[in-house]
Structure 1
Amino acid sequence: MLKVASDFALALTVTLGVLLIWRLNDQITYILWLFALPPAAFFTFGTRRASVALGLLLIALLLSPFVSPAAMSPETFSLSYFVRVIAAFFTLSLFSALGEYSRAHTQRTLVALTREMEQCACTDPLTGLLNRRGIYDRLNEERARATRSGSTFSVILCDVDHFKNVNDCFGHQCGDHVLHQLAEHFRRSVRGQDVVCRWGGEEFLFILPETDEQGALNLAEKLRSTVEQTPVNYHGMPIDITLSLGVQECTLTESPEFHIRVADQKLYIAKEHGRNKVVSGNIEELMPQELIA
């Protein structure tokens, strides 16, 4: 409907311009209204559509001496006046086009910068993964998608064991290198639709669409085993790393925040029982009732 209204307004603009050109030498005040059309057309219809409309008007202006009744009489037609009108109309149209192009370019740049800033605000600068701020939007999107499709999804909360020892023994640059390498490994290990997030510090969160707890458990065990068997290389020095992971299948009756909290409790159990473990299953059977949030 808006497109139809815009086309109708553009057609009226061209029609009005043709009528003004038709009365070119009848009264000078008629042609003055013609100069209001270029800036209004570019502002209203954009560069491409306004250029077409004003191009048609320029052609009509060039043809006006041959078809306009006011130009048929030598007494009313002035060639110098006609040339000045064409030059003024073309110049005004050109500057209006440049102004509209500049405005549109600035707007596109601002939109791109806004998107870039939003992405930076939701991205962890060290690993390039989503940060905690960005993950909640993805969790809510996944919950809405699962509600529509009637499917399920799972989350895995992962923590690097004894990460403080890495920083203390080898320095924070080594710790950053370990986190970056783990993030790359996690990205390569998951499916395209899965989401990996740096949850905070040395913790990572996985969102696994269309995955039940058993599928999430299989992935968690694969990650744990692979990391354990593959030391991180830091300037030729192997750094042994292990992971503790908590797995939780998300139901639609509870919020994503609740399921992350449960996954965190399972992660706590894994650490309490020696680390380098994956914990899943019913939290009520794994923890004392008073510790369950």
Structure 2
Amino acid sequence: MPAQAATMQSGDTLRQRYETIELRRQALLLYLGNAVASIFLFGFGVANLVAERHLLAWFTLVHGGITLANIVLFRVTGNRNWASYGFTYGLLALFGFLVATGGVDHTGPLWGYPMAVVALSILRARFGLAVIAAMLGVILVLFLAPPAFIEIAAYSAAFKLRYTATFLALVLFTGLHEFARAKSQGALEQVSEQIDRLSQTDVLTDLPNRRYMLDRLEEENSRYLRHQHPYAILYGDVDDFKQINDRYGHAAGDEALRAIAHAMRTRLRQHDIVCRWGGEEFLVLLPETGAELALEVAEKLRAAIAAIEFQPGGIAHRLSISFGVQVASVPDTVDNFIHQADQKLYRAKQAGKNRALD
């Protein structure tokens, strides 16, 4: 159904906007995160060289270089996955080194807390949680079953227990927070999609409204200007609609508009769009359509509306509509095409109504 297609397209467009914003946010955070990490690592490296802690110095300097190279790689390739993996490697390697060596005065493991926050902020949510869980795995291995070839700093049993417990609590609460955030984000996206759909839908007929149609017309016209595939506009106006309101009341007029909208919507192709342009006016967009087919569709819609069994208050009343048909076959603006269709509609009214003119 055209109206359903319009709603789906609106939702898809909104989701695409969300995805684009999220990708840009991730790219910015990857740049900033790697940049800040490289500054810290080079700073620590120089400080450790001055203090003659050569092992710490060279490890931090080398990984500062790796982090800086990760920025260059991301800039050149634009591959977020590679940048994320490079950042993850640097973070886990540095964390493991700090836990194993103790850093300065056995304070190395304490850097795990800000690292966990950074991982969740910069990496995608699930990936970030996986990295934090991997950090917990590093702690458990080095504290409980360290490999024989690694010399672990002499931590007290109480420190190992408290640090492991607090980091486990961090992992659990971070996971719960992310779960709640994802649920809330999903609900907000649904609400935003509903608001976006309502802002582009006519409440009475449930057809797309003028705002939505103008956007689709501009898109179709841009496509036409690029590829020279013609499209058609049908500008329709219900004949003698004021008489319905005057004789039977506005409720009957609303019923007539709903019946006409349903008749047109059910007789168009999936990719065609019909909207309520305003009042008793309707506009139909027919992509990939030439003059002959456009006039044929207009006649089909006109006949369908004339066949509606409309009986306000039990009194039979024949409905009819007139159409102006305009095909975009030469470069021009949407406004001019609509104006030309409106002029043809006016001539159809002058010629006796209940007809389509191209």
Q: TM-score range by the shorter chain?
A: 0.7 to 0.9
Residue deviations 1:135-187, cap 9 Å, x none? 11111111122233322111111111111111122211111111111111111
Alignment-mate amino acid for residue 7 of structure 1: Y
The aligned runs of 1:49-64 (5 Å cut-off) are 49-64=127-142
* TM-score after normalising by structure 1: 0.86
Residue deviations 1:53-74, cap 9 Å, x none? 2222212211213325236xxx
Counterpart of 2:348 in structure 1 is 270
Q: Larger % of helix: which?
A: 2
SS at structure 1 position matched to 2:207: coil
Counterpart of 2:285 in structure 1 is 207
Alignment-mate amino acid for residue 170 of structure 2: L
The aligned runs of 1:1-293 (5 Å cut-off) are 1-24=79-102, 27-65=105-143, 66-67=145-146, 69-70=151-152, 76-234=154-312, 237-280=315-358
The Cα shift of 1:112 comes to 3.7
CA distance in 1, matches of 2:161, 2:235: 76
* TM-score after normalising by structure 2: 0.71
Structure 2, gaps ≥5 residues long: 1-78
CA distance in 2, matches of 1:47, 1:254: 47
CA distance in 2, matches of 1:94, 1:58: 11
Counterpart of 1:287 in structure 2 is none
Q: Larger % of strand: which?
A: 1
SS at structure 2 position matched to 1:274: coil
The Cα shift of 1:235 comes to 6.9
Alignment-mate amino acid for residue 132 of structure 1: R
CA distance in 2, matches of 1:229, 1:58: 72
CA distance in 2, matches of 1:234, 1:27: 89
CA distance in 1, matches of 2:307, 2:355: 14
Residue deviations 1:15-56, cap 9 Å, x none? 122112213598331121112222211111132112222222
Residue deviations 1:94-136, cap 9 Å, x none? 2223333444444444444333323222211111112111111
8 A Cα contact 1:43 1:100, kept in partner: no
Residue deviations 1:202-225, cap 9 Å, x none? 010011111112211111112222
8 A Cα contact 1:46 1:100, kept in partner: no
CA distance in 1, matches of 2:316, 2:170: 70
CA distance in 2, matches of 1:197, 1:153: 16
8 A Cα contact 2:231 2:290, kept in partner: yes
- Sequence identity (%): 34
SS at structure 2 position matched to 1:129: coil
Alignment-mate amino acid for residue 273 of structure 2: V
Tell me the number of residue pairs that the alignment of Structure 1 and Structure 2 aligns.
276
CA distance in 2, matches of 1:56, 1:157: 62
CA distance in 2, matches of 1:49, 1:55: 10
Of 147-156 and 203-212, deviating more is 147-156
CA distance in 1, matches of 2:250, 2:235: 23
SS at structure 2 position matched to 1:205: strand
Counterpart of 2:13 in structure 1 is none
Of 219-228 and 109-118, deviating more is 109-118
CA distance in 2, matches of 1:25, 1:7: 24
CA distance in 1, matches of 2:122, 2:187: 20
Q: 1:45 to 1:25 in 2, by over 3 A?
A: closer
